[in-house]
Amino acid sequence: MLFSVMHIIHLVTVILWIGGLAFVTMFVLPMIIRMQNPLEKVLFFQGIEHRFAPRAKIYNAIVGITGFVMLYLTGWYRLLFTHKGIPLLFMLIIWIFWFIMLFGLEPVIIRRMLDRMAKSGEAMEIETIFARMNRMHWLLLMISLAASIAGIIFGHGYF
Ligand code: HEM
């Protein structure tokens, strides 16, 4: 019973988290890039960032907690460094990467980026920063989808 609850919460949170990331990557950032006014770009991005970043931290924590509880309940942690556990280990590594990004690096990186944009005020530089940010979001989305695929492969014994 507890396992089922954890499993459901794990999946629904992954949907909200990675779905939100996909939306920002595929629709919001390209929309910002097409905006003409550099100030409007920065303010719009800041508005989204202020709302999504705290939520992404909560999603990351919930996915981690439910994942670890499932491992504890089933004893699957014993599989972590075995052949069968490769997809599980992959999911865990991507989660740790996200944890470090969200709780350690992101506040520093984003703050520095916004500071740079505010100081420079030059359309060209802001253009370059947003293009780089879009590429970075695509990369993050791809590795997150890869972690989801690893979860499906592990959970359904496809490996
Ligand atoms: C970026 C982080 C993560 C993502 C995107 C993710 C995604 C997923 C997805 C999509 C599934 C498939 C569920 C199904 O098909 O029924 C899954 C299953 C699972 N995840 Fe994760 N997960 C993440 C992190 C973790 C962590 C950190 C752990 C544990 C330490 C974990 C443990 C599990 C377990 C044990 C299952 C198998 C449940 C089952 O179907 O029996 N996950 N995950």
pLDDT in tens, the chain (159 residues): 999 999 999 999 999 999 999 999 999 999 999 998 888 988 898 899 889 989 999 999 999 999 999 999 999 999 999 999 999 999 999 999 999 999 988 778 777 777 777 676 666 678 888 888 899 999 999 999 999 999 999 999 997
Could you count the other beta carbons within 10 Å of the beta carbon of residue 113? 17
Pocket test for ligand 1, best of 4, 10, 92 (most atoms within 8 A of CB): 10
Q: Are 63 and 17 in contact (CB under 8 A)?
A: yes
Q: Residue 147: which H helix or E strand, with range?
A: helix 123-155
The range of the structural domain enclosing residue 117 comes to 2-155
User: Can you give the pLDDT at residue 123?
Assistant: 64
Say how many Å lie between the CA of residue 84 and the centre of ligand 1.
14
Exposure letters 98-109 (e unless 16+ CB within 10 A, then b):
beeebeeebeee
User: Can you give the pLDDT at residue 143?
Assistant: 98
Give residues with Cβ within 8 angstroms of 127, minimum separation 6: 33
How many independent structural domains does the chain possess?
A: 1
Q: What predicted TM-score, i.e. pTM, was given to this entire model?
A: 0.92
User: Can you give the pLDDT at residue 21?
Assistant: 96
Place of tokens 């989305």: 141
For residue 122, count CB atoms less than 10 angstroms from its CB and return exposed for 0-12, middle for 13-18, buried for 19 or more: exposed
